[in-house]
Chains A and B, each alone.
Chain A
Amino acid sequence: MLLHYIDLSWRSLKRTPLVSFLMILAIAVGIGITMTSLSVYHMMSMDPIPQKSSQLFAVQLNTTDDGTNWWTEDDVPMQLTYKDAMALHSAESPARKTASMRSGFTVHLNNQDLKPFLSEARLIGRDFFPMFDRDFVYGSTWTLEQEKSSSPVVVINEELNERLFGGLNSVGKQVYLDDTTFTVVGVMKQWNSHTKYYDLNNGAFDSPEPMFIPITLVAPMQIASWGNNNGWKHEAISTFEGQLQSEIFWLQFWVELDSPAQVKDYRNYLQAYLEEQGKLGRYSRAVPEFNLQNVNEWMEYNNVVSTDNKVLLGLSFLFLAVCLANILGLLLGKFLRRAPEIGVRRALGASKRQIFLQHLVEVSLLGFLGGVLGIAIAQLGLWGVRSTSNEYNALATMDISMLLAAPTIAISACIIAGLYPAWLVCRTQPAIYLKTQ
């Protein structure tokens, strides 16, 4: 019977092509606008590493004095000082942990073939790659010895490898970062993360950096941060060493904890660490404060999806509702004009339920067609969003779930809009129309 209803619906659409086109267009525009905002919202809010987002934790330590305000909801700074980050980095547990810092260099090969160019880099511990599930095309991460000895080694991504070495295996080759020669130890597979969740302080939607070097190089090479540096009290800093020993927050820190027991142990460890630092007189705080938040909690805490995005999404759904209100009016007119035919069908044995279903199938077909056209309009909208800023390149796209959601939302919305007209027409008293046909 469903196929028969679809056949009847298709004939009905063809019988009134203009009205059908207007309804499909109204749905398509509503869906197009809604799916544009919903796709961006979806990409912003989706779990960037679902397979282990509950095992990766961002660490926050509050090493400010009591009464210091911060712009986070609980007044705990989002980043760590260098000395805390490196202390946690060099601790024995947990098994995987990494300090992290954004920086950048002039990259060149010391020859005429390639003009020097500026490139971002990230300073990390070697655990960073297995923690964030990064695979390699060539080579691997640097060794523990290389990290401890602050060896000038670098992992580059596929894109940079293509630019520097034509995509060939570059492990063992040398590249200059500013004036220092670095040896390539690995070429990492391209990382197309839509959210740079491991460093939300420095452009949450920026692309991941193309180069990664050991965090232990910060001190010997006096590498400056390209990220945010957050101070909270006056400190007379005149040297790089002074900055390293300062209370300025400028590094991120991540740990991988695989079980609740490990989380508990690490919380105890942080508590003890802060108490010890307090005793050293670094800050005046009665109760040590720290946060350990997994990836999704961290994104929520940092308001990755801003209120503006949520409002925009709400408005786009309101626009869809307005489109549906128009469709409802058109459906009412279309269905009620068909009441005589429904009267005949009822006289011939159609139940109210069958008439109701027939009309719901028709509105579903409208929704499906509107949804398909809406996807095209949404693609146009997303292209417009992408063209405003490179930041949206990975965000303003429709993944498979959104492609499937578009017709689903369109059909559901049309069914909602069609419920009343279908209910009205199924209540047709056949006797009224049989004489007047």
Chain B
Amino acid sequence: MLSMKNISKVYQTEKVQTHALRDFDLEVQEGEFIAVTGPSGSGKTTFLNIAGMLEPFTGGDYMLDDVNVGSLSDNQRADLRNQKIGFIFQGFNLIPDLNLYENIEVPLRYRGIKSAERKRRIEQCLEKVGLASRAKHLPQQLSGGQQQRVAIARALAGEPRFLLADEPTGNLDSLMARQVMELLEDINREGSTIIMVTHDQELARRAPRNIQVVDGQLADFTLYQNKTIEAVAAQADHSAVEV
């Protein structure tokens, strides 16, 4: 359902070409829960951004549910993103002026879902994340963990095929992080496909499938078994080259 072949991403400045991703191959099947780990600057977030169509890729093929993402216009990518993908960010990224109900409503409005259906979905999602009674609260009136649960509810409301989570527990203490992780596991058990970028090895180990990104490539996992992330990073070549 998600297939990347030879995906590359090059950031070009006047003097420097930075290969954020190179020859990146990945197949993701429906219902998987994948943890993506790797050293800082290895290309994890770039991968997630490309998977979520938040930024274009330089080369390769990316198929999402049999749609060739590379051939889509910006507006078509926005539509596809809205229909197929839900995002969970490290910084929650809730809109401060909108209450919880309205925050969750945002992607549904862009999809053109009718008011009654929006209401049903929002209430259902708030119920799922245990915040049904806080619908009219503003984000700043909640704790970090609660805000992340709202962000998860927002991602779920669109009933996406994929949940892309970028360090979803990065700003949370360990207790809240565990609660959020348990929520994600519940969601995965209900059938959602989740790709989660994390630095937290403990959380990563809870995911059924782990992949590592090193130097912009999907690492051969067998090479790095029993090594720490730091050791892998030290082993990797520097990805920026002079041009």
Contacts and interface: CB of A to CB of B under 8 A. Distances in A.
Nearest to A346: B78
A349 B93 contact: no
Contacts of B109: 1, 4
Contacts of B90: 435
A435 to B, nearest CB: 7
B18 interface: no
A349 B87 CA distance: 10
A4 B114 CA distance: 13
Contact of A348 (B45, B75, B87): B87
Nearest to B46: A431
A437 B154 contact: no
A326 interface: no
A434 interface: yes
B74 A431 contact: no
B52 A348 contact: no
B55 A347 contact: no
A229 B169 CA distance: 94
Contacts of A352: 74-75, 78
Contact of B54 (A4, A11, A354, A434): A434
Nearest to B158: A349
Interface in A402-437: 429-431, 434-435, 437
Contact of B110 (A15, A341, A348, A429): A348
Contacts of B158: 349
B78 A429 contact: no
Interface in B65-95: 74-75, 78-79, 81-83, 87, 89-93, 95
A343 B78 CA distance: 12
Contacts of B106: 344-345, 348
Q: Contact size class for B?
A: 20 to 34
Max chain A C-beta neighbours (<10 A), residue from B49, B74, B82, B110: B110
B89 A437 contact: yes
A434 B170 CA distance: 14
B111 A429 contact: no
Contacts, number: 72
B242 interface: no
A434 B90 CA distance: 9
A436 to B, nearest CB: 8
A351 B166 contact: no
Nearest to B52: A347
B78 A341 contact: no
B93 A353 contact: no
A46 interface: no
Contacts of A430: 54-55
A110 B52 CA distance: 97
A431 B97 contact: no
Given A4-B109, A429-B55, A430-B54, A348 B89 contact: no
B107 interface: yes
A347 B97 contact: no
Nearest to B110: A349
A350 interface: yes
A345 B111 CA distance: 12
Nearest to B107: A348
A1 B82 CA distance: 16
Nearest to B92: A437
A215 B226 CA distance: 117
Interface in A325-369: 340-341, 343-354
A354 B110 CA distance: 8
A123 B141 CA distance: 82
A431 B43 CA distance: 13
A435 B91 contact: yes
Given A347-B81, A348-B82, A348-B87, A435 B45 contact: yes
A349 B95 contact: no
A434 B89 contact: yes
Contacts of B45: 435
Interface in B151-173: 154, 158, 166
Contact of B79 (A15, A349, A429): A349
Contacts of B75: 351-353
Contacts of A429: 54-55
Contacts of A1: 109, 112
29 contacts: A344-B93, A344-B95, A347-B54, A348-B82, A348-B87, A348-B106, A349-B82, A349-B83, A349-B110, A349-B158, A350-B82, A350-B110, A351-B74, A351-B75, A351-B78, A352-B74, A352-B75, A354-B78, A429-B54, A429-B55, A430-B54, A431-B55, A434-B54, A434-B89, A435-B91, A435-B166, A437-B89, A437-B91, A437-B93
Top-5 shortest CB links A-B: A349-B82, A351-B78, A348-B107, A431-B54, A349-B110
